[in-house]
Amino acid sequence: MNLNVLCTRLGVEIEPQLLELALTHRSYSYEHGNAPNNERLEFLGDSVLGFVVTAHIHDLLVELPEGELTKVKNAVVSARALAGVASDLGLGEFLRLGKGEDQTGGRTKLNLLADTFEAILGAVYVSKGLDEARGLVERFVFPLLQDTDALRENSDPKTTLQEKVQEQGKSAPTYETSFEGPDHDRDFHAKVLVDGEVIGEGIGKSRKGAETEAAINALAKMHGK
C-alpha cells in the first residue's frame, strides 16, 4: 500500500502514521488487538466538512432560504455523495479492513467509503490545519454543487420518489427491509416497491440508510441514469 500515491491523488501531504490511521476501519482494529481506528478522525472530519460546506453555500447560494440551504448541505455531505468522491479517489484500495469486512465487499460500501473520506479530512486538519482541509473540500466536494437541483432531490429521496410516483397515478412506494450480521455490525438491504414491482434496491448500516439508498436508485432509474 503506497500512501504516497494516495497523497498525490489528494493533493496534500499527510503524516504517514496519521493517514494510515485514517484508513483503518474498526473491523481491522478488532482483529488486531483493538488497535486505534479512524472513528475519532471521522468525527473531526465530519465537523470540518459541515463547517466548510455551510460557509460556502451561505455565500454561494444567496437566493435560497435557510430551509433550502439545509437540504443542499445535507445532500452534499450525505454518505452517497461522499462515497462517490471516495470512489473517484480510489480510497477503497487503500483501506485497512478486517478479513470478514473485506470479504463482504467493504471496499465498495457507501457508508464505509464516506466515513473514510471524512477521516482523511480530519487527518488533513490535524496534520496541516484548516486551510489545507478547506482546500481538500474545495477540490473534491464543491464540484458536487454544480447541480443543486439534483442535490436537493437527493436530500429527501423518499419524499421525492413518493411525489413522482403519485404524479404518475400509481400507489405510494412501500419498502421491504432485511438485515444480516451481528447486532453491533449489521448490514441492511432494502427494496422499494410500487404496485408490487421492485423499482430500486439499496444497502446501508441502518434501515433508514438502506431505504434511502433504494429510493435514490429508483429515482436514478426514473431519470434514465
- Whether residues 172 and 133 share a domain: the answer is no
Residues 105, 128 share a domain = yes
- The enclosing domain of 43 has a CATH number of 1.10.1520.10
Residues 146 and 171 in one domain: no
Q: Are residues 39 and 57 in the same domain?
A: yes
| CA nearest to 94, candidates 83, 107, 82 | 107
Alpha-carbon distances of 57 from 9, 39, 80, 127, 136, rounded to whole Å: 25, 27, 19, 26, 16
Residue 160 has a pLDDT of 85
Query: 144 with 132, same domain?
Result: yes
Residue at which a domain ends, from 140, 155, 170: 155
Q: Are residues 200 and 109 in the same domain?
A: no
Residues 129/108, Cβ–Cβ less than 8 Å: no
Q: What is the mean pLDDT of residues 42-58?
A: 97
Residue 163 has pLDDT above 80, yes or no: yes
pLDDT at 175: 97
Give the structural domain span for 193: 157-223
Binding-site members are: 42, 115, 118
- The one catalytic residue among 15, 20, 31, 46: 46
Let me know: does 19 contact 6? Beta carbons within 8 Å: yes
Q: Could you give the number of structural domains in the chain?
A: 2
Q: Is 164 found in the same domain as 146?
A: no
Which range in 54-58, 62-66, 144-148, 183-187 is most confidently predicted, on average pLDDT?
54-58
Do 171 and 149 belong to one domain? no
Residues 193 and 83 in one domain: no
C-alpha cell at 117: 473520506
113 and 63 within one domain? yes
Q: Give the pLDDT confidence of 82-98 residue by residue, as tens digits.
A: 988 999 999 999 999 99
Query: Does the active-site annotation cover 118?
Result: yes
> Are 173 and 148 within one domain?
no
User: For 173, which DSSP code?
Assistant: P
Q: Sorting pLDDT into bands at 50, 70 and 90, what band is 154? A: low
- Listed range (143-147, 153-157, 172-176, 208-212) with the worst mean pLDDT: 153-157
- What does the pLDDT read at residue 91? 95
pTM of the model: 0.76
Domain boundary among 133, 155, 177: 155
pLDDT surpasses 90 at 152:
no
Binding-site residues for Mg(2+): 42, 115, 118
- Among residues 118, 187, 211, 213, the one annotated as catalytic is 118
Question: Cα(46)–Cα(41) distance, rounded to whole angstroms?
Answer: 8
Given 117, 137, 155, the domain boundary residue is 155
Compute how many other C-beta atoms are within 10 angstroms of the C-beta atom of residue 109.
23
| Claim to verify: residue 172 and residue 147 sit in the same structural domain | no
